[in-house]
Amino acid sequence: MSEFLVVQIERRIATLTLTRPQALNALNAAVLRGIRLFFTAAEHREDVGAVIITGDGEKAFAAGADIAEIAACTPAQALELARNGQAVFGAIERFSKPVIAAVNGYALGGGCELALACHLRLASTNAKFGLPEAGLGLIPGWGGTQRLPRLVGAGRALELILSGKTIGAGEALRMGLVNAVTEPAALLSTAREWLSAILTKAPLSLAGALEAVRKGMDQPLDQGLETEAEVFSRLFATEDMREGCAAFLEKRKAGFKGR
């Protein structure tokens, strides 16, 4: 997969750790390729029900793209670079199982965009977020100009993108960039607690909810409601829906099978 990624799987939760601490876990071509390969394979793995993405150490989640690797790109090469990064992060966003970014330390540039592509974001108190590309004569190119406004609103997003400033975990929480903040020592255990609770729900319901929200965000309300109705009705053909309703009526714990 990649020498810069480590995967651990426990109780159907896969933890994907970026391991380039000497480069603050910067996202080079090998890391992006490894992330893409992992999510492609994990989509079909029964032992993976959810994913945590984090960075090695407390200094950085991912401190952006590897500038040394991309600085000499031609415009044509930069277009390919942008499309490749967008495709990798799009695979995360479209993943049918919940993904949490457990943000420890710096999440700058491409690292911030990686966190934005995840379904949920949990930050440690030492986390720092920013999109500093304007200071390099660039703009965010891996989804930052699109996902951040959808998450926090255009005004807040432009404040970060135009100024290139770095914000702490508290401000990120106040503006809605992250879901919660925890102490660094509790970051991964909290992420696992969240996912353990989520994984008690029906797998097809989780996938359906992720699909409906993702598609609906890019649709007018009436189309989004139609998407919701289609996913809702589709679930009535599943064994898990019948099991969930039966368990509720019989006052017992449901045994979901993902079918």
- β partners of residue 130: 108, 166
Select from 103, 99, 118 the least CA-distant residue to 55.
Answer: 103
Quote the pLDDT of residue 2: 65
For the domain made up of 203-249, give the CATH fold. Answer: Lyase 2-enoyl-coa Hydratase; Chain  A, domain 2 (1.10.12)
Q: Read off the tokens for 222.
A: 């009436």
Dist CA 65 CA 87 (whole Å): 15
**Identical fold at 5-198 and 203-249?**
no
Instruction: State whether the Cα torsion 50-56-61-66 is positive or negative.
Output: negative
DSSP per-residue codes, 74-122: -HHHHHHHHHHHHHHHHHHHT-SS-EEEEE-SEEETHHHHHHHHSSEEE
Using a 10 angstrom Cβ sphere, with 0-12 exposed, 13-18 middle and 19 or more buried, the burial of residue 233 is exposed
The label of the residue with tokens 């500093």 reads: 132
Quote the pLDDT of residue 1: 60
* Structure confidence by residue, pLDDT tens digits, 120-144: 999 999 999 999 999 999 999 999 9
Quote the pLDDT of residue 128: 97
Quote the pLDDT of residue 96: 96
Dist CA 33 CA 55 (whole Å): 16
Measured between alpha carbons, how far apart are the two ends of the chain, in Å?
30
The label of the residue with tokens 């108190």 reads: 125
25 phi/psi in degrees, rounded to 5: 60, 35
Residue 86 CA, distance from chain mean position: 13
Q: Hey, which residues are catalytic here?
A: 113, 133
Query: Which residues are CB-neighbours of 19 under 8 A, at least 6 positions away?
Result: 3, 4, 5, 6, 25, 56
Q: List the chain domain ranges.
A: 5-198, 203-249
pLDDT per position in the chain (259 positions), as tens? Answer: 668 999 999 999 999 999 998 889 989 999 999 999 999 999 999 999 999 999 998 799 998 887 878 888 899 999 999 999 999 999 999 999 999 999 999 999 999 999 999 999 999 999 999 999 999 999 999 999 999 999 999 999 999 999 999 999 999 999 999 999 999 999 999 999 999 999 999 999 999 999 999 999 999 999 999 999 999 999 999 999 999 999 999 998 989 988 8
In residues, how long is the chain?
259
The domain at 5-198 falls in which architecture? Alpha-Beta Complex (3.90)
Q: What single letter denotes the amino acid at residue 35?
A: I
Select from 203, 20, 169, 173 the least CA-distant residue to 98.
Answer: 203
